[in-house]
Every structure is written in C-alpha cells, then in structure tokens.
Structure 1
Amino acid sequence: MKEFEKINILGINVTNLTSKELIRQIGFYVTHNQKQNILYANIHGINVASSLGWFREFFNRCAIVFCDGDGVRLGAKILGHHIYEKITYNRWIWDFASFCESEGISWYLVGSESIVIKNAVDNLKVKYPKLVIVGYRNGFFQNESEYEKLITDLNTTKPNILLLGMGMPHQENLLLKHGDRMTYNVALTGGAVFEYVSGEAKMTPSIFFHLKLEWFFRFLLEPKRLFKRYFIGNPLFFARIFMQKYFNKS
C-alpha cells in the first residue's frame, strides 16, 4: 500500500495524489477487502470544517481526502506545497466507472432526488452496461426507519463501492452515524455527482475549466444559492490561509 503525502490546509489533511492513483488505491482497498472512507476537499468543505469540529475530525480519520478544487490547490501553493491534480467528479467519475466495470467492482448509489438518481443509473447502464449496480435510492431520509432500510439493503447486497451524493455535511454525517453498521469496501462522498451523471447539471465548458473558473460558471447557473459560498466563503478561506502561513494558525 502506497503512502501518500498529506498536506495540512486549515486543519484538514489533504492527500496529494493523482486521479489515476486514486483509482488504483480504491482498487487496492477492494482487492484486499478493506473498509475505507474517501472524502473530497474543496473550499466550501474546509470552511464547513472550520465551524464543525466533528466534521473536521471525521475528515482527518478518513483514508484519503482528495483535492476537488483549484482554490484548495492555490491555498496549498500559498502555504508552500504543490498538489498534483484537482480531481472533480464531473470528469473523474467516468474513468472510475470504466475501471469498476472492467474489474467487476459493484456500486450502490445514494443521493439526489429520486428522478435524478434513476436517470443517473440509467445513463451509467447505457455507457457501462457491465457495471454492477446493486442498488440505489434518493438522498432524502424522512425518519430512522429509512436509514435502517438502507443499512439492511447494504448488508444484503454487500457493494464494493458506496457512492453518496447528498451534499456536505449530510453525506459525511450519514457515514459517521451509520457507517460502522454498513457493509461496503469504499465509501465515496460525491456532492452533486449524480446531477452530472444524470445530465441534470451542465458540464463546465472547457474554457472555464482551463481558466480555473469552474466555480464562476456554477455561480452563473445558481447565483442565489452560491453567492454566499463563493463571494463570502472564498475570501474567508484565503484570509485564513494567510493567517496559517504567517501566524501558524489553522
């Protein structure tokens, strides 16, 4: 098992690895029947972790926390580190699905609204007909009995991959509270992954991607929801980065 560099960014230990290394490492966990949680770190997530102690602690107990944003890479650079790659689900998920199809690695999907998750599953089956999807459901739980039903279903189907697309911190809270009772090899938190897989969310045009302005494209699509996250959250993140750099505070 390869040891990866961990870069401390405002108290979150971000794993420095490439998208191909991430896929290989997941394959290692599955092959060796390990149970691991893998999260992603973007500016929003690190900001949430600054105000929720349990969230920060959960991040740092996970096997891998990969970089999911140019802002995090820039923050690392300011602190004197180089993160190899930004790994975003809207692009990475297709390579991962192809790998899992070829290796016979099974998935269980949880997240989004019912119609979105169904369309995501349908699209995956069209693109990767041999990909094993043992179950799926929406990401909205009305009561404890629905959590219990999910736990029972996972313990029956025993998926290799549990992919959660419920948004922060709901998906992480589910793993924290119920993960020990669930059967899977690797749990991945994916945010809006099913919106992209289903086609509900628009892919970022290449020009925004190459200019490192994916965040601005998303803002243009949902200005009311994302204004606070980007125009308040982003400056706050970088202010705290400079505090960490010059005053060693995180």
Structure 2
Amino acid sequence: MSNLELEELLDAIHMYARDDSSSEPAIMLSANIHGINQAYKYQWLLRMNNNAELVRNDSAGIQLAGKILGIPIKERMTWADFGWDLAEYCEREGLTMYFLGNEEGIAQKAKDELLKKYPALKIVGTYHGFFKKEGEENQKVLEDINRLKPDILVVGFGMPLQERWILKNRSKLDVGIIMTGGNCFNFLAGTESRAPEWMHKNGLEWLFRFLKEPVRMFDRYIIGNPVFLLRVFRQKLFKRSTSSS
C-alpha cells in the first residue's frame, strides 16, 4: 500500500497523470477490508494490488491492521472526502477528469455537485456503468474516453468488476491514471447518505452501511471483517515466530 499523506498522494497522482514516458496508464487502487479479502480469493487481484503504482488507504480496518502489525498507516482517505480533495487539487493544477460508473445520471450529478464548489474544475466526460463490458458498447465507451484524453479516469463499478475491466482495457486507454471508485459517485452526488460524524471518526462507517443493507452487506462485514482480522493476527504470529527463530 502507498503509505502517503493526502498531499503526498495528490502530488503522486499529478506525476503519473502527466507522465508521458509510460506506454500504459498508471493505476490507483483502494485498500479496504473487502478488497484485501477479495485479493485472497483472486490471485489476479492480488497481483494487481502488488503491481499498482498507487494504493490509497480507504479503511479504518487497514489502519487497525497496521497497528497490530506495527506498521503505522499515515492517513485514511475515503472517497466521500477524498473526492472533494481531489477535485480541489485538479482545479488548482488544471488536471482533467472523466467519471465512469453507477446508474444513468449519477456520475453526471456528481460532476454537477463538484462544479458548484469548484467551477473551474475540468470534468470532461461522464458515462454510466451499466454498459456491456465486451464488444461494440465497450468499444464506444473506450472511444469516448480516448477522444477526450482525460488525465484521470475514475471507474466506479464495484469490486472486483471495476478492477477486471481496468486490467482488460488498460492498454487501450489514452489516459494518465485510472482510479477505482466503487460507489464514489453516489457519495459525491449526494444520493447516498454518509454515516454520522461520530461513526466516521471512530471507524464505524461499515456498521452504518450494514444497518442500512443488512442482507446485502452480511457476508462483507459480519463474515469478512473477522476473517480479515484473523489473517492479520496470523501474520503477526508468523512474524513473531520467524523473528525469534
């Protein structure tokens, strides 16, 4: 994971967004408990995490794991906050963006909301995420993105669909850096409510999401969180045993 503070991460994004030396766009992934659990399940996703140019901490659980393992994680940046920080930075530095994902109209609404606060921000295009990821419709999306040549492409299909699409299409995209966004456009558009501030500050946003959608989120949080912590403690015991031998 890229253990960076906000300004360090934004400067790194800028560097990759304007780097013409690479034949392919850079990739920035989001690190959270669900993503790490998915990487245990899919070897291709594990390799993608290991090879990504940037991995942003998106979870209080990752910070907790860092404490357990003795690796301090500098900062947690969820898209609900990070999206606004990124927009401010892009407006200031003249970086262009393209939003791809969510239901019809949500990415456009996210753009509209950001422009209210950052009117000089250049979001050059938006497209919904419910298109066929193969064939003519996929090619149409690629052509639209490449026509506009954004510095930053944000892809919000949900995990691991977004990561698989990025891997398949990375070499065909004329952009600077591709970021995974998950459900970010709903948060930026204001169509999905955030956890109360006290829950956010105490790393309990997962509980808020579970209470809103207990059936859909049961496996992710009630099963996934303990599994993740067990793996972290197992790694700690392994490190302790190897250091003492």
TM-score, reference length from structure 1? 0.90
Q: Tell me the equivalent position of 1:202.
A: 193
1:177-196 CA-partner distances (Å, limit 9, x unpaired): 01111010011101111010
SS at match of 2:105: helix
Letter in 2 for 1:27: H
Letter in 1 for 2:175: Y
Kept in 1, the 8 Å contact 2:17–2:175? The answer is no
2:7 pairs with 1:20: yes
1:130-168 CA-partner distances (Å, limit 9, x unpaired): 111111111122242111111111221110000111111
C-alpha separation between the residues in 1 aligned to 2:238 and 2:188?
42
2:19 pairs with 1:32: yes
Letter in 2 for 1:24: D
Kept in 1, the 8 Å contact 2:19–2:176? The answer is no
1:210-249 paired onto structure 2 within 5 Å: 210-247=201-238
Letter in 1 for 2:184: V
C-alpha separation between the residues in 2 aligned to 1:114 and 1:133?
17
Q: Tell me the equivalent position of 2:117.
A: 127
C-alpha separation between the residues in 1 aligned to 2:67 and 2:137?
43
1:2-57 CA-partner distances (Å, limit 9, x unpaired): xxxxxxxxxxxx12111221111111223433531000110000000101011111
- Match among 105, 110, 127 for residue 100 of structure 2: 110
Return the offset for 1:125. 2.3
**Comparing 119-128 with 77-86, which one deviates more in the overlay?**
119-128
Q: Tell me the equivalent position of 1:137.
A: 127
Q: Tell me the equivalent position of 1:68.
A: 58
C-alpha separation between the residues in 1 aligned to 2:234 and 2:29?
25
SS at match of 2:10: helix
Fraction of identical pairs, as percent: 41
C-alpha separation between the residues in 2 aligned to 1:67 and 1:211?
16
C-alpha separation between the residues in 1 aligned to 2:64 and 2:51?
24
2:94 pairs with 1:79: no
SS at match of 1:141: coil
Q: Tell me the equivalent position of 2:156.
A: 165
C-alpha separation between the residues in 2 aligned to 1:144 and 1:81?
44
Kept in 1, the 8 Å contact 2:107–2:185? The answer is yes
C-alpha separation between the residues in 2 aligned to 1:233 and 1:217?
16
Kept in 1, the 8 Å contact 2:100–2:155? The answer is yes
> How many positions carry a matched residue from both structures?
236
SS at match of 1:84: coil
RMSD after superposition: 1.5
Gaps of 5+ in 2: none
1:84-123 CA-partner distances (Å, limit 9, x unpaired): 1111110111111011012111111101001222211221
TM-score, reference length from structure 2? 0.92
C-alpha separation between the residues in 1 aligned to 2:110 and 2:58?
21
